[in-house]
Structures are given as structure tokens and as C-alpha cells.
Structure 1
């Protein structure tokens, strides 16, 4: 007994030690899910061990003890190993901790051990209860034998002992029940936690964008009482109460459009009904992350965030999770349509449409218009006045946004109230409030931005006199205000302030994406040539913002320029004020990546959780991949030595950065990185022509560049300067200009396409992906490139090895503009694809099956043969039905489609009568069958599976059977099935157990016989 107690007691001690060590480890290193599970299991096992210890002490002679010894010893050994490993981990230096892999690989082993010991303890506790009962009964019998003569006197004692025993047994049962309940509760909580974790995981997987946070940050900037005029506006109220309407709020820069958009989102979300609300805030600095796919994924995310994950989305997540991929745009649009359908009404708010690049904007609006079609979706857009919504939302009257005078006064009052300095001055001189209000509002030009910049300047003044002087000298116009802010920075007497302000403006204005607070802090602290980052050099972010004269603001977790116009201003003075901006950023990144603490990364690959942990502790690592983009161009020769040094280690850095799956720019996003690329190949892939020339001149054998065709890579990435260099007289091996044409056309790099064609590229060469450049441009919708290729003699009817033309490709994609342009270039609309493996036999079949009615109409209007046969579908009508395209199906019927053409599955009537319930058009099956009959469909025509009536009987469609019979279908018609067995409709219905069909058919047969007998 003593040995068992020692093992149990020791296990509890080790468990406590391991729990504390693991808890510290998790706090330090953002542990993954397995480690969190370990903590939960430890919390569950400990009370069970304590209860077992108590039971052993209470009944030390139980025969169950022998069964416990070995399993408990094994568990104690495991706990000793776990404690030892955790103790080792805590003493390791930082770099070794990051490469310490046991906790990821072995967590599962310890979790299994916890499950095993929990199961064993539960059994032992249950057996212990039974053992105690049995032992009690034996002692009782012995006592009765010894004192049977004195039974009457001992009766009272027996009753008392029985009651005590019963109470003990009940207590033990309650304790065991309590432990089991705790275990069950823990299990249920774990399941709930797992469900919540999966929900959150899918939400983050669908898109990294978080517009909830952006909405909150923007709405917090709204001054109380401002913007209410919009909610009361008649045009807004009409939009609010209507369905399927668009409200376009346009206004000059700085008029407060973004804050108004956030106010609308807040107002709509406060309605508390089955209304879906989603807001998008476009940002020119975040275009790389705000892809079209991610924008629509965010709309779905906002509609679905408070609901259980739909089965279709869970299935989609599981499919992509296994492959490490994200859903396609089409898949996102499909789940978005489903989410819209679940809401009684949906409101989408899209802010700053003008900040999205024009090409992406058109595609975004096109898909947005399609998503609204036939749905109860209202859309509010904000933008500057210069953009157009045509042709996606034509005839949309704008609601002009301009800073309301009352709102401006309210804005100034709120600013003064929140400013300690201005409040002090106004308190000392009450008349000063009205002076500030009048002057600033009169200079506002209908913008909130102007008063803000004025007030930021006034807020710096330490005396009333200085404030009044500044107020009288306040310049008019944004540009003058920005000039004034820059002059304040340059005239700062503190040199450190001037330097930090200049660097901060360089970084924030020229960064390729939004920077986090931690990133800008580290970037400003990096000293050129240093081997480590001195933590004592890091500025507080509030101090950084304070020295930038109001041009930079913090929006946690990011820093940004105060307004898009600030970016335009800084761009305009870049050449004179910041000519070395990109060289400074690139050099800072190169210095940072050369720090001694990162040297081991070149030797030891990290797990993803280790890499993420390293970035958490070294934030600038997340931005450093942009170093080569900033180095390209003028900085190349200035930074040549730094670039050359970095290129030698670039493959290792790419391996590290690949852990984050968000590198959407060259050279890191190129899919076909060679295993051992040379610096020469990386320079070509990174658009470093000056560096390339120097490396090429120094290379003993430039053919050993360690990668695929460098011209192909440069063309794929759209590096015009690099392509120009590679197609020049420079004798660079393995540069096939014709093959490079395909990736350039596919990616939409028109200048590169023109350059390659001018230097002899052949437009009809089949590339490595089995297509010509024209196919590539058509599939991706690049009309200008189609024009360029056609002018250089591209064959518009050229086919791939699989028989596909560019017109078939464009029709399949549903791109109306491309189809129209190819028709203008004399594309053969009725060209057949004779490849038996091809999905579609011609362009019309592709368009009909995929669903773009406008493309179908365009092809038919330009001579497409609606009855042209070929491929697995046979005709376009069959293809339209297969795709569930009701509009296309009816259009083809109305334009001469032959309903009696026999394909591999029979006529179209056979196909409809064989349709399963999952088909999108199943609910309108009876209507469409009747329509086919009206169009002349033969109800008794034979096919591979008999007559249409036979097909309907086989699938139990009694209402279809009735329609066919009423329209003359022969219930006696017989045929042979695939096995040569003779059958008819009633035989099939009986065989399949469709009683309703059997009754209907037999009644018809009987009535037919009776009719004949009467004759």
C-alpha cells in the first residue's frame, strides 16, 4: 500500500511541476493548440489522482492495489520525462528555444498518456466502490456468527453500522459521480472550445482581412452629433427602405466620407433583426492584401460571423485544408450567395472606391453587381467624384457629400474639449473659442481634414498670443497646410526629432503596405552596419507621431498617413525632399536581415509556429521581404554590395518567409523557384537589371544560373526593364522570347508583351502550359493584349492540343467583352472541338453550361448554330440543362433549339425525366417538361434507357408521368434494357417500388383496355 501511495503522491507532485512549467512556456511562446490541450488534460487528471489517493488510504488492503501498480508507475515515468523536458526548455537560450521541436512532435504522445490514465482511474474508482461493499458484507457475516446468541442486544449496533456503511457507500458513489460529471463537463467544454476554435479558424482562413476592427477604429473618430444629416436625408431614407438599390455618396477629399460610411454601418448593425450588414474600407496602401477574392470573402465573413459554420463551408474548408490552399473567387461568390439568401435583407457598404486600382475596381463592381442580381441587397458606395459606376450600376444618382457647417462647428468644439492645451487657453480667454471656430470653419473648404490640420497646429502653441498669431496666419488650402507642416518639421530645433520625423515619413509614405506600430518602431531604430538591434534606440510611438506635425496617425495596430491626400502631397515632393527614400528602406532591411541573431536561420529550417514566434519578437521580419522591391532602380548601384550579400542568402530567407503564405509579389511568389538558384537568376526574378549586368560581367559561366529560363521568369513577373535587358544584344543563354510571351499575356503585362513581339516573339507558339498567348489573354480578360497580339498576326482560331480555341476559353469564362472582341477579329463561332476528352464541343456549349446569358445571346446573334452537335453534351441545350442554367435553357428554346436531337443520354426530354432532386432546376421540372412538349418534344421517342415515360417511372416522378400520359405517351410501349430484358414503364416502376407511378400507369392501362373493349 505504501508503494502505491508513494507513486500516486509522486505523480501529483510531478504533474503540478509540469503544469507550472508548461504554463510559463505557453505565456512566453504563443503555444499551439496541442500545448493548450495538455494544460486542460492536466487540470482534469489531478483531482482524479487526489481522489484515488484518498481511496487507497481509506482501504489499504483492497486486492485492486495489485492492478494499479504498473500503470501508475508508467504514468509517473511519463510525468517525470515531461517535467524534465519542460525544465530543459526553460534554460535554453532564445535561438535554441525557437528550434526546439519536441513540444510539437510529442504533445500527442502525452495527450494519449493522459487519456489512458483517466480511463484506468475511472475503472479503479468504480471497482474500489464494489470492493468496499464486498468487504463490509464479509465482516458483517463473521460478526453475526460470533455473537448470534446476543443478536437482540447487538441489533441496535448493527443498525447503526448498517446506516454508517450505507452513508459511506452513498458518499463514495456521489464522489465518483462528481468526478465523472466533472470529466463529462470537461469533455463538453472541450468540444465547445473545439467548435469555437474551428469557427474562428475558418473565419481567419477564409480571409486575413478584418474590417470589424477597421470599422471600430474609424467609428471611434466620429465626433458626437456629427453626420446625423445623412441618416435623415430623404435619399438615404429611400435607399434604406428599398431593396436592390444603390446609393452613391461622392465627395471631395477630406469631406468625411469614410467616417460617414462607418456611421451607416454602425446604424444598420444596431437594428437587431435578420438583416445582414457588411462594410469594406478600401485602402490604396493595402491593395496587395485587399484582393478581389478577399474582399468578397470578407463580405461573407461579416454576414456569417455570428452564425454556425454552414456544412458547405466546412466541407470547402476541409477540402482546401488538406491541400494547403484557399477557396477560389467562384467558390467564395457561391457561399456569399448562400449567406445572402439566409438574410431577410442585406446591406453592403463599400468605402473609398476611388482608392482601388481601376482594373480591379471594374472586376470588383462586375461581381458585386452579379451578387446583387435577384437578391434583397442594398449597396452604399463612397468615392471621389471623378470615378464612374457605368456600366455596372448605370443611372445611379449621386448623393453629394460635403462637410456640413454645423458638423464642422461640432468638430471644432469636440477637438477643443478633448485637447488639454486648447481647453486651457479657451478657459483663460473664453472669447477665443469663437475666434477659433469662425476662422477655422471659414477656411474649411467643405472638408473635415482642413480643420483637423489647423487644430493640430494650434494645439502646439503654448501661449494665447502664439495661438492667436498662428490663427491669423493660418493658410488656406490643403497644399499650403501640408507645406506648413513640413516647415514645422524642418524647423524643429531638436536634430533627433527632425531625423526621426523624416525617416517616419519616408517609411509610412513609401511602404508597399500598411506598417504596424512595432514594424515602424524597429525600422527607425536600425543603425546602418549594426549587428543587432539596440532596444534602447526604440522610440515610443506617441513620440514618433508627435514630431510628425500631424501627418502620421496611429490606428492600432497600424500607423498611417492622416489622409490619402497626404500621400499625394508627399509623392509630389518626393524627388526634392526624399530622393533617397527607397534606398534608405532597402538598406535598413538588408542591415536588419544581417543581424547575428538570424544567422542560424540559414542553417536550420524552422517549423511554422517557430517562424511565427520569431516574427512576433522581431516584427520588421514581416516587412523585410519587400527589400528587393525598394532596391530596384536607382538604389541598385548605391547598394550593390548589400544586395549582392543578401542575394547569396535569399533562398534561405524565401524558405523562412514561405511559412506565412502571404508573399504575393516577386520574386518570392514565383511558384517554380529552383532548388539552388544563383544570385544571377534571383536578380532577374527581382527586376534588378543593374545588379544583373554586374553579376553577369563577373560570372565565369552565366549558363549555370541554377533555374528556369530567366526571360520567362522576368516576363511572368512583369519586369519590363529586366525583359528589355534580356532581349537586347546581351548574350544571355536560355532566353526563349516566344515562350516568354505566354506568361506575360496571362498576367496582363501589356508593355512586356509588346516588347517581346517587337523583338521577334511568335504569337502562335504553344507555350509550356499548352496554350498560345491569345488563349492566355482571353482566359484572363486582357482585351488590350488581345488587340496587340492580333495586330501582330496571332491566329484567332488557333487551338490548343486539346482542341480549345480562344473563343471557347472566353465563353467558358463568361467574359462578354472578350467574346465580342474575338468575334470582331473573325473568330469562328461554330468551330468544333473534336477532342473526345474535351468538356465542350464549341463556344456556345461552353457559354450555355457556365451560365452567362449575355455571352449566349451574343454568340447566337452572331450566327452560332444552336443545334450544332458534338462533345459529351451533344447540344448547347443539353449543356445549359447540365449547368442548371434556366435563363440559357429558355433562351435556346426560344431561338430554335431542336428538342428532339438524340444525344448520348437520349433527347432533352429523356434528360429532364431522369433528373435527380439535387439538380438546381428540379423545382421547376414539371414546368420545363411541359414547355418542351409545347415546343414539339416527342413523348414516345426511344433512347438508350427507353422512352421519357420509362425514365420518369424509373425515378418515381409520378407527376411527370401524368404530364407525359396526358400528352399522349404510350403506356404500353416496350423496349429492352442494357441486359436485353424486355421492359416497359410499369415494370420499371414496380421494380423500383414507386407505388404512385404504378397505380397511375396501371389505371391508364386499364382504362385503355376498357376503351378498346367498348369499341
Structure 2
């Protein structure tokens, strides 16, 4: 308590401990001692810590937040690769690039991409590391290394995770966790530099199922103009093609003359480290000359050089690697091969402790593993093939602090893996025996034997040891000490073995002797150890104290695709219908596409109707996954096939499922086994769905099997409507040629069960537009300007004058074409006899639309064919848009010049005044327009001209006899009051000169014109009105007299003017009282 204030200023863990201890022992007798203790210890602590050191320390909460974030997306750590490259890099390497004009151009250009490309070993990673080290001082800088040795560093997803974490760490104080979408985060960053090394080592460079790395890079660059990206790779075709297509790419081919300086520096430094030749500078010079002349742009892979090898210096990497393997002592060769097999075919590097245990396994006899066989010094594992393997010190989230004892082994270079799995290696006579060990089947089988034998060895050491009870065994498997269980701590490669042996076994295809080991594992306690370490059948941690839940053995065997093991387990009496997290083994076989296993399970009596955890039946899973080869097996074993057209949980029929994913083979199989071709859900039938998505082949197939061409789907659309709507011309033709009704409107189809259901449940549907699709196919084609479809529909007898009632608009195809501005289609419909005088609610008529769009010759054509020019709003539209020629045409053909339009709120003359079209006003007046005709909501044409100060039009109207004192029906103002209110002094004078009554009040609120002018502060208009004898003392409206109105609105100039004119002050004052 006494140190609480100090805690606020100095949140130190030690002080908090002292304070908490003292507070917990606080009582009346002890309180003084507690306070002294806290104060004394805290004082001594503060004397030992300098304030400057406190200020620079990272707050604990910030560290915890950063660590939680790092663990949340689980990003791979690129600093491991960076530090490894730094260790291997010769000081000063890559400086030439930082001074290269292409690099400088990249650095100074927005949205630029510098592409460093070259052959393996030419120094791409060294250069990218040099750039990373140089750019570290930039405020916003991100980087990532793709790595063939580590599957976590091969995918687009994990790259984004890493970049997200780096971006958050750089801007941690500005972000929130719920905003961690990379492209969203990047939007708020300023200038940003990104370095991506070894694109060619990504496993998701081009992904046909999801967006690949190259596609992502394109999107990333387009999302930000201030990004500057560096990428390194081999010049592979896919990468080369994309780089050529992108703008702003600056290619830098790493040719030998560019990297020659770096290579020579490296050679000189490494030769200088050969202690045996320190005294012989002549030999050093000879070695340097030979290596430099033969390097050809590739950094050397070995420093174990002797003078005797100079004259026969190897010319290729293959020869280099072959010689290294040949030089391995025979008694070490077996271990070398095993280590290289693991590093070549594993999805990640091996920790050095894992490698030690892998080598210590004896797969030929029991005990398979004895801890005493481990190498006493783990690092000595490198002695088996030091030139082909590299050891890296793993580092934590903060690269400055090394995690001791965490070292990883990986192949020294990508080219090592390429060599070991190449045909060249297999065909090398000197490597013939060794080469067979690196055939994928043989190598993976060997890895399986090692992994399974290790697990069996661990089981023998633990479970069969004296005094180990079931509870103790459980504790060893699940109780964590620190971050690992006891087994994980004491047997380092156990986790790897449990996780990866099934995948190696599946990929090996023929694992030979390993089968017996796997069978032993499935029948022993090692089975439980395996799934305790890694359980792929569980979506979550599934243990309770003393109880362990595992999936059935046949379930695991099916999950891994191990046919021989499934067969053996079934013969041994395994329950074929036992369930795991994803249902039965049958569900898993279908989901993973294990056809042979599926056949075995069905023969063993597996329930072909059993749903998985998502409620999908096996047949549904087959269709969704596109497992065409499996469909033929299921109908014989399922009762569900009889209801194959019925809907499933998500409302999609099996046939629709096949159609949705475009599985032609499966669709044909379903139809052959009796699927209801016209079964429907809210999307309609399978045909309706297929038509919408434009799959012509499947449309033909469904029609061949008798699909109803006129059944409606969601939004009431029939297949023909959908084909027209989505612009699939070939499908429109196909449907029409096969008898589709060209005039059918889907809402008229009331015979289908789905439509009845919709009608009965309309109140439950959120989207009521489902009932509104009542447009004819011809109307849709005309509206969407598809001339070819219009021709097809007319050819097949479509009713050219059919009404589309969507939104109750009652339009014909001609109106739809004109409304969309499709003049060619409109012309085509007119030529085919379309009714030119059809009326609709929304657009009035075809003539109205032609006038609106300004299609003069169409207007003339429609009028010649008898279109009614007096349809409400037609003449108004011509007036509003200034089509003087059309106005004359319409008048000549008998348009009512004084017609009223609700949409335009008045007569054509009012519309002309509103649009301030002097010539058209004159034209209408010359043709007899009633100057005092139907008024607008705010008055007559005269009022509009007065409000707008349109003196020319005002004069025209007055000359034609407009009533100067008429009042508008809405505000009851005169034209003079309207002009005054809007400050139009020219219009005011004009109206006064034509006899406007200066003292007319108009309505009970505004008062006479003088009061309005005084209130609004228009001194010039006040002068004008006084000159025409306006009554200064008139009391009318809500403002009182003009003097009172001026005073209440603070119009001092007008107050003075009125006083000078002898306005009655007492009258104003009395009115105020």
C-alpha cells in the first residue's frame, strides 16, 4: 500500500512483489514493519538501477502484447534465415548492388519491383540479405525468406502471417488486433520496403485452387503506390512471364561479371583461413586463381581444398557433390544416407537433437532405440556430411537474443536436394548404390522405418519399464513440464516421428519391411504415444484427467490412405462403422479420395448412409469433392439413392451440387441412377442454376436427360430469363431450339411445389424480390442491349408486345430498349411491328423514352406510326431538355400544349420557365400556350420567372397578358412578393412598371412587399417600392410594419431610411408592445 504510488511510476516486477507481500501481511501490529520493509528494499533497488536504464526498458505489457500477437498468427521467423545468411556472407559482399543505377532507380520510384534473378548458387540470398541489412534503418521495412528446407516458409499464407506480425511490431501503438488484415494494415503505412527472397522455393507460386504468390504480389502492388518491392528467384518460366507482364519491374540478371568481385573476396577470405598454407603464399595464390577462374558466378561450396586437387578441379556442382559423398568413410555412409534422406524429404529442418536420435535408431533388431547410442556431442553429427549440410542457430522473436541449444540442420543449398533426387545422381555409376537410397519410395520407406521403430523403442523404454502404471504412463504422455510433455523432452524426435511417418508412408506407396513395424505400433501402447504426440483426427485437445479419447484404428489408417493397413485391420475384426471427429472411416475415405479404401469399407459392410459431423451423407461428400470414380460404388450400398433428388441440410440437391462444381461425369452418373432432374430449392432446378453460370456442356446434358425448360427458380426466373439476364447467347439459342417458351414469365408458373411453398411462407422471406422477376426474355434482351438475343427470340416467335410487369411498370421490350438507350434494338423492334403507343407506369410510353434520350429520328418515326404525342410528360421532357425540334414535331402532331404533368408539376410553359429556356418559352407562347394556365406548386409561370430574376422571360409573359397580381396557391404570394423575397430588384422594377400592386399582402405571414424587403435587408428594393408609393406604416403579416421588421432583423440602414421618410415610430413601438 505504501509503495502504491511508486508502482505507478516504476512498474517493476520486484517492487510489485515486495509490495504485494507486505500488503498480504498487513495488520495493525505488522503494518509498520511491512511499510518499512517495502520502502527499504525498494530504496536499495532504485539505488542500483539508473533512471536512464528504466526509461529505455520495454514495458512488460508491451512485451506481452507483442508476444501474444506473435503467437496468435503463428508466423514463421525469417530472422533465422537472415542470421544464417549473415554468418555465411563475406563482409562487404553485395555493395556493388547498392551503388547500381537500377537499385537506385528502384529505391526512388513508387510502386517499383526490383527482380534479382540467376542460377542456383549465384548469390541471390546473399544480395537480398545485404539489402535487408541496409534497409533496416527505414521506418517501414518487411522481409521474408522462402526456404525449401522448411515447409512453414514455403506458402503464401505463412508469408502473410510473418509480414502482418512485422508490420504490427513496427506500428504496434497504432493498430488493433481486429484490424490485422495485411492489405488493410498496409493502407495506413507510408513508404514501405518489402524484400521477398527465393520466390521459386514457394510451394504456392501458382495455386489453381486459391490465389497463388504471384497473383498476391500483383494485388499487393496494385493496392499501394508507395510500395517498393525486391524479389529474388531463379528465372523460371512462370516467374519470368509474370515479371514481363507487370509494369514497373526492374530486372537485374545476376551474371558472373556482376558477382565476380564478391566471389573473389569470398575465395581470398576462405583461402586465408587454410592454416596449413599460411606460410606458402604462392600456393594460396594458385588456389585463389584456380577457384576464381572456375567459379563462373557460383560461390564455392567447400573449403576443404588441397593442392593435389587443383589440376583436376571439378567443373560442375554434380561432380562436387558426388566427390563429397564418395569421400564419406564406409562406416559412416549408412548414417550419412539416413541424415540426408531426412533432410531431403522432410517438410522442415531437423533440430540437432532430432538428428542425433534419428541416427541412433536401429531398425533391424530390438531394442530399436537405446538412449546410450546417442552421440555424446550432438554437433558431431555434422561430421557425416559437413559440406552438404548446414547448421543454423535458431533465434527467438528478438534476433539479438539467441536461444541456446536450439540448433537446426538443413541441406546447405537447394542445389543439393536437386542433385540427390535427380536422374543424374541415379545414373552416376560411382553413386549407383547410394542413388537407389534416394529414390523417393526407398527414402521415404526408410524414414518410416526409423520413425516407427523409434516410437516402438520409446514405448519399450517407458510402458514396459518396471513400476510404470497406467496413470504414470498417462502422466508421461500428457503432463507438461514447461512447454513440453515428458516424452517430448526426453525423446526429441518423438513428435516428428508421430506426425510425419503416416505422410511418408502414404507417399512411399511401397514401404516393404516397414509394414510389420507399423502393424506392431497399431497393436501396442506405442499407438497411444503416437496420437498423444500428434492426433490428426482431432480438431481440439481431447483429454480428461486419466482418460484419453482417440479415433478408431481403422479411422486413422483411412485418414492416412494406407490401404494395406485398412485391409489388415478389417480382417482383424475392426469396427467398420466406428466414428472419429469427421464421422466414420467411410466419410474420411470419401473426403480424402481414397477409392480403394472406400471399396474395402463398403465390402466390409460400412454404412453408406451415415452422415459426417456436418450432416452430409457419403454420397453428398462424393459429389461435393468431385469424386467421380466413387459414385459408381455407392448406389449399390445406400438407400439414399432412392431420394437422390431431395434436398440436404444446406438446401442443395445432389444434382445441383454436381452442377455447381461442374462435375460432368458425376452429373451423368447421378442421372443414370435416377436423380430427379427437376428437383429444386430456392435456386430453382439444376438447369436454372447451370444456365445462370453459363455452363453450355452441362445445359446440353440436362436437356438430353429431359430437364423441364420452363420451371422457375429463385427470384422467379426461368432458365431462358436467366440465360438472357447473364448474356449467355449460345445457351439462349440452345433453349429456344429445344422448345423453351420465349414469352413465359416465371411468376405465372404456379404449379411447382417450390412456388407454392414460397407463397405460403412469404412473410418468412427476407428478400421479397423473389416474387418480382416478371420480365419477359425479350424485354431482358432488349434492356441489356443484346441484339443477337433479340433476333433469336423474335425468330422463335417471342411476343414483341408482351408486357413485363416487374415493379408493376407494365413495359414492353420497345420501352425497355429506349429506356436503356439502345437505339439499334429499338429500331429493330419497330421494324418488326412493335406497338408504338403502348403505355407503362414507369416510363409512360416509347415516345416518352425516345424524347428523353434525344433520339430525334426515332421520335419522328414513332409519330409517323401513330404514337400519341399527348402522353403526360412527353412534351414537358422535350421542353426540359431543350429539344426545340422535337417540341415543334410534337406540337405539329397535336400534342396538348397546356397539358399538366404531375412529374413536372405544371404545364410545358412552366417547364420551359423552370429550365430558363427563352426561345422555347417564345415558341410555346407563339403556339398558343396559356400564359395564365395551370400553376406550379409554388405559383404560375410568372412567379417562377420573378423568383429567378428571368427578366427576358418575365417580359415575354407580361407581353402575352400574364396576370401581374395573381397569387400562387401554395404560399399565396404575388409575383412581386416572390421577386422581393429572392432579392430580384430588376424583376421588382419590371413588375411595378407593369402595374403590380405594391401594397398587396398576398398571405397573412409575409406582409406587403415593403415589409419583406425591410426584413430581408434589400435596401435597393426598399427604395424602389417607396418610389411606387409603398405604405411604410402598413401593419400586416407576422413582421408588423416595415420599420418594425427592419429593426427586429438589425437592418440599421433601412431603419434610418424609413425614419428619414417619416415612418411612424409610435405605431411601430405600439405594435411591439
The bucket for the TM-score relative to the shorter chain is 0.5 to 0.7
1:552 shift after superposition = 0.9
The answer for the alignment partner of 1:504 in structure 2 is 339
Q: How far apart, in 2, do the equivalents of 1:208 and 1:414 lie? A: 33
Provide closer, same or farther for how the CA distance between residues 822 and 351 of structure 1 changes in structure 2, counting only shifts above 3 A: farther
Q: Counterparts of 1:628 and 1:1011 in 2: how far apart (Å)? A: 95
Relative to structure 1, the CA distance from residue 620 to residue 700 in structure 2 (aligned partners, 3 Å threshold; closer, same or farther) is: closer
Query: Structure 1, residues 873-898: CA drift from partner, whole Å, max 9, x if none?
Result: 6789x9xxxxxxxxxxxxx9999xx9
Match of 2:478 in 1: 606
1:377-416 deviation line (CA, Å, top 9, x unaligned): 2333322222325997662367253353463454354355
- Equivalent residue number for residue 522 of structure 1: 357
- Alignment correspondent of 2:326: 487
Task: Check the 8 A contact 1:796/1:806 in 2, yes or no.
Answer: no
Structure 1 residue 622 corresponds to structure 2 residue 495: yes
Preserved contact between residue 360 and residue 369 of structure 2 (Cα < 8 Å): no
Cα shift at 1:460 = 3.1
Q: Do the aligned partners of 2:268 and 2:288 also contact (CA within 8 Å) in 1? A: no
In structure 2, do the counterparts of structure 1 residues 670 and 610 end up closer, same or farther at CA, with 3 Å as the change threshold?
closer
Matched, 1:305 2:181: no
Relative to structure 1, is the Cα distance of residues 805 and 208 closer, same or farther in structure 2, using a 3 angstrom cutoff?
farther
Q: CA deviation at 1:798?
A: 8.9
Structure 1, residues 674-707: CA drift from partner, whole Å, max 9, x if none? 9564322321222111122222223276556778
Deviation sequence 1:30-83 (CA, Å, 0-9, x none): xxxxxx999885444456799x8xxx9xxxxxxx33xx6xxxxxxxxxxxxxxx
Q: Secondary structure at 1:368's aligned position in 2? A: helix
CA contact (8 A) 1:279 1:299 kept: yes
Measure, in 1, the Cα distance between the counterparts of 2:572 and 2:272: 63
Write the deviation string for residues 621-679 of structure 1: whole angstroms up to 9, x where unpaired.
33121122223455655233421232245774466346xxxx7xx55669999956432
Distance 1:653 1:720, change over 3 A: farther
**Helix, strand or coil: the match of 1:357?**
coil
- Of structures 1 and 2, the one scoring higher in RCO (CA 8 A, sep 6+) is 1
Q: Which residue of 1 aligns with 2:118?
A: 251
Q: Which range moves more in the overlay, 563-572 or 214-223?
A: 214-223
| CA shift for structure 1 position 789 | 4.6
1:215: which partner in 2?
82
For residues 1006 and 563 of structure 1, do their structure 2 counterparts lie closer, same or farther at Cα, with a shift above 3 Å needed? farther
Show the 5 A alignment for 1:225-264. Answer: 225-264=92-131
Which of 290, 293, 298 does residue 442 from structure 1 map onto?
Answer: 293
Partner of 2:217: 368
Summarize the alignment of residues 384-399 of structure 1 with structure 2, pairs less than 5 Å apart.
384-389=234-239, 395-396=245-246, 399=251
What is residue 390 of structure 2 aligned with on the other side?
553
User: Aligned pair in 2 of structure 1 residues 638, 219: CA closer, same or farther (>3 Å)?
Assistant: same
Q: 2:513 aligns with which of 638, 656, 678?
A: 638
2:143 aligned to which of 276, 279, 302:
279
Q: 1:806, 1:516 → 2: CA distance?
A: 54
SS of the aligned residue for 2:337 comes to helix
Is the aligned partner of 1:338 residue 2:184?
yes
Taking structure 2 as the reference length, what is the TM-score of the superposition? 0.53
Give the whole-Å Cα distance in 2 for the aligned partners of 1:868 and 1:180: 85
Residue in 2 aligned with 1:429?
280
| CA distance, structure 1, for counterparts of residue 204 and residue 700 of structure 2 | 25
In structure 1, C-alpha distance between the alignment counterparts of 2:377 and 2:969, rounded to whole Å: 94
Q: Give the direction of change, closer, same or farther, for the CA distance of 1:482–1:1006 in structure 2 (3 Å limit).
A: farther
Quote the residue 2:847 is aligned against.
Answer: none
Gaps of 5+ in 2: 1-10, 395-407, 427-433, 464-470, 611-615, 636-640, 733-744, 748-757, 759-764, 773-782, 787-803, 810-851, 855-913, 917-935, 939-967, 979-1001, 1003-1073
Q: Deviations over 1:768-803 (max 9, x none)?
A: 766567877999xx8xx7465567678999998564
1:534 maps to which of 348, 366, 371 = 371
Would the aligned equivalents of 2:142 and 2:167 in 1 still touch at CA under 8 Å?
Answer: yes
- Distance in 2, matches of 1:288 and 1:671, equals 22
566, 572, 592: which is aligned to 1:698? Answer: 572
Decide whether the 8 Å contact of 1:48 with 1:179 is kept in 2.
no
Q: Does 1:294 align with 2:145?
A: no
- Distance (whole Å) between structure 2 residues aligned to residue 807 and residue 370 of structure 1: 35
- Whole-angstrom CA distance in 1 between matches of 2:205 and 2:654: 20
Q: Using a 3 Å threshold, how does the CA distance of structure 1 residues 821 and 359 change in structure 2: closer, same or farther?
A: farther
Write out aligned runs for 1:121-270 (5 A).
121=31, 192-270=59-137
Q: Retained in 2: the 8 A contact 1:354–1:387?
A: no
1:58-97 matched pairs, under 5 angstroms: 64-65=28-29
Alignment of 1:546-945 (within 5 A): 546-557=383-394, 558-572=408-422, 573=426, 576-578=436-438, 580-594=442-456, 595-596=458-459, 598-599=462-463, 603-604=474-475, 606=478, 612-614=484-486, 615-624=488-497, 625-632=499-506, 633=508, 636-648=511-523, 649=525, 652-653=528-529, 656-657=532-533, 677-699=551-573, 702=576, 708-719=583-594, 722-723=597-598, 726=601, 730-735=603-608, 739-740=617-618, 743=621, 753-757=627-631, 759=633, 771=652, 786=663, 789=666, 803=683, 834=714, 872=766
**Alignment partner of 2:237: what SS?**
coil
Q: Which structure: larger Rg?
A: 2
* CA offset digits 1:822-870 (Å, max 9, x no partner): 999999999986499xxxx999xx9xxxxxxxxx99999999xxx9999
Task: Tell me, yes or no, if the aligned pair for 2:390 and 2:412 is still in contact at 8 Å.
Answer: yes
Change (3 A) 1:744 1:533: farther
SS at match of 2:141: strand
Q: 1:765 to 1:1008 in 2, by over 3 A?
A: same
When structure 1 is superposed on structure 2, of 570-579 and 583-592 the one drifting more is 570-579
Q: Distance in 1 between matches of 2:325 and 2:378?
A: 19
Secondary structure, aligned partner of 1:338: helix
Query: How has the CA–CA distance of structure 1 residues 800 and 821 changed in structure 2, closer, same or farther, with 3 Å as cutoff?
Result: same
SS at 1:553 equivalent: strand
Alpha-carbon separation, structure 2, partners of 1:238 and 1:861: 51
Which has the higher mean CA deviation after the structures are superposed, 584-593 or 525-534? Answer: 525-534
Give the Cα–Cα distance (whole angstroms) in 2 for the partners of residues 586 and 310 of structure 1: 49
**SS across alignment from 1:378:** strand
Q: Does structure 1 conserve the Cα–Cα contact (< 8 Å) formed by 2:502 and 2:560?
A: yes
Q: Return the alpha-carbon distance in structure 2 between the equivalents of residues 507 and 209 of structure 1.
A: 21
Distance in structure 1 (CA, Å) of the matches to 2:200 and 2:697: 27
**Aligned: 1:470 with 2:309:** yes
CA distance change for structure 1 residues 668 and 680 in 2, over 3 Å: closer, same or farther?
A: same
Name the stretch that deviates more: 570-579 or 345-354: 570-579
How far residue 479 of structure 1 moved from its aligned partner, in angstroms, is 1.9
Residue 757 (structure 1) shift: 4.3
Alignment partners' CA distance in 1, 2:677 and 2:853: 35
Aligned length: 691
What displacement does 1:722 show? 3.5
- Runs (5+) with no aligned partner, structure 1: 1-35, 57-63, 69-120, 127-170, 317-331, 462-466, 847-855, 879-891, 904-933, 937-965, 974-1004
In 2, Cα distance between equivalents of 1:858 and 1:281: 46
Over the aligned positions, Cα root-mean-square deviation in angstroms equals 5.9
Query: Retained in 1: the 8 A contact 2:358–2:493?
Result: yes
Matched, 1:417 2:269: yes
SS in 2 for 1:696: helix
Q: Is the 8 A contact 1:582 1:635 kept in 2?
A: no
Three-state SS of the structure 1 residue aligned to 2:238 is coil
